Structure 1
Amino acid sequence: LGVYAGIQSKAVDAETAEVRGMLKDLERFATEVTALGLAPVTAQLKTVNDEFQKVYNTRQEKAVDQKMPALSEVRPQTDAVFGVVCRYIEASYLFATTDDDRALIEHLVDRMNQESDHFKTLHKQSMAQKKPTPKPTPEEENRLKAGFPALEQQMELKSGSLSFTGKTKGTA
């Protein structure tokens, strides 16, 4: 069962598939599972995993049916709307006639900042759990460096202006 160590850190669809595999493997050890008193736990795990899979599949189907636009298309629009909302909040604060109104607006801004901080923290935690891109081999680095002069010429850059940072994707 050691092959299932760390499945909780996988993507949810991969995790639920791993749980199904683990439960299937545990069927071969039914006597041992019962002797250890784990039968109720494995039964509950199967139930919860099956319920999760149903909910996940339903959400995936809805997402496909909705045909949402790409985030890269939507993000500039949401950023623009957020900017307008912030300007309205600032104007409301500046033109507030009472301290009570200003206090309400300050509370709103504090809550918005708190939510923003929360999402930034979640993003940082998510990024910290991702594995870093492996360092390119010397052969890959040399292959990239060999293409710099042609790229500099194509982009009309000064000769020698490009350098290898080591932060690449898809260099194989």
Structure 2
Amino acid sequence: MKELWLPKMVKILSANANRLSGALHVQFQNQVYALVKRENGKKIGVPERLMTEWAEFIELETDAVKQSLKTVELDEMHKIDKERDRVVSNILELIKAQRKSPIEEVAQAAMLLYHSIGNYRGIQSETFDAETGYICSLLKDLEPMTAQLSVLQLSSTVGKLKQLNEAYEKLFLKRQEKLVQLRLPTMKDIRLYTDQIFNAVCRLIEAAYVHSSVEDDQKMIEKLVDHLNAEIKHFKTTQRAINAQQRSARERRAIELRKEWAVALRVYEEKVGLPEGSLHITGKIRNRGKVRTYELLDRRNNRRLYVKMTEDGFVEV
């Protein structure tokens, strides 16, 4: 039987870069780009146009990561939000407490105010945008109640809340205008582009090795492939370590939450008509604005749901 001849080939490992976290993905792209960039593009089969595209998308991804972490306005918005939370709490708590005032005029004013705006309890824990809308509604409901506010000496406090809410809205609009001007693609799209380019670069390098007849060029490509594979392995290992730490932290958090909220969970099960032990706290937490939600697992059907903790216990979101 004739001996089979196959060309000598090199293989760049699958990076699975889509599994890397945001900042780690940017680091990976920068590292492998630098390794490829330092070689002769013609000898490794990678055209300059593709390298230019790659560099542009890596820069976009870097900008997107920075933008997602912080804007100048965001810090000031957080400061204002903390202050308006404090003011809202002061207004609601004072009204609630003054219903029991020994001075009849004060108690009556507090009771009228409580019936008018008592349903705004807990808006401090809503998302930033939702809270802004709720505060606008609260202020509107208080407009015909100036006499009662005066009796409780809350007029200036309500005026302060209005100023803070307006300041927050202005900063929000300013930040939105900046984001529109930047016209950054979504992080998901940018990552997809950079991953596609890296995949194309890998295939071109592998093809260049097969078609090269120059031994020194083949050795150079072999060395480049070794370096790329080393980086791929390194970043995969790093991501696995991060995932393991997160799982460990989530498991510890789940144990703590199960102890802390055992009663609240049972109350919630009764409220929604589930047998005791149907729901399980997984320990997974999601933060959306100021709202922290917790994942529950329905053991009967493996359905996952998220709840938030309120004054009245768990509420599904």
TM (normalized to structure 2)?
0.27
By relative contact order (CA 8 Å, sep 6+), the higher-ranking structure is 2
Q: Greater strand share, 1 or 2?
A: 2
TM (normalized to structure 1)?
0.47
Structure possessing the higher radius of gyration over alpha carbons:
2
